[in-house]
Structure 1
Amino acid sequence: MAVTHVVSFSWVEGTTPETVEGIRSALQEWIDRREGLDGLVSWIGGPDLGLADGNAHFAVSATFTDQTAYERYRDHPEHRRIIAEQIAPLIASRSAVQFSHS
């Protein structure tokens, strides 16, 4: 059963578009290497387009072949490093969901 992970963030005030692009770029570069990410089917992430009031500022959607593949992604050392160094210090709020599907 495939698993999709969706996470959205709102940043603390003063977070610049350049900083957000640095986060997106770091995540994308890691994903593009595919090292240790067996079972990753798709990954996309980026800043909100500002089309509706009240939206989060940034989101990631990733689909995996199964729960084990998602957990590998979630716990991957490079993912944990990017979160700790670049994302966590700027989070005002975070929401996530993982759901299964065929």
Structure 2
Amino acid sequence: MTTTHQEHVSHEHRHGPGCGHTEVPHGDHVDYAHDGHLHREHGDHWDECERAGHTAHTGHEHRHGEGCGHQGVRHGDHVDYLHDGHRHAAHEGHWDDH
């Protein structure tokens, strides 16, 4: 699965350990949750880190929600939950794997 390349223009904040934003491990890099967006460093700028397409997380019996034991990260109009190196989001009766 690939990500779209959408540069986050006018982003002067420098993300990194201790910057105050939630770190989200994502494959070979770290995304940073910032104002409902996920930012990824890309060269000399920051990208909005969004996957292209729809990937259902099959066989996922766990129900995420407040107090489930997984960290919630606000993402646009919903909350993703960090689980085993993935972001899970509720979607039409199943969980998507972001």
TM-score by length of 1: 0.29
In terms of fraction of residues, the more helix-rich structure is 1
Q: Of Structure 1 and Structure 2, which has the larger fraction of its residues in strand?
A: 2
The normalised TM-score by structure 2 is: 0.29
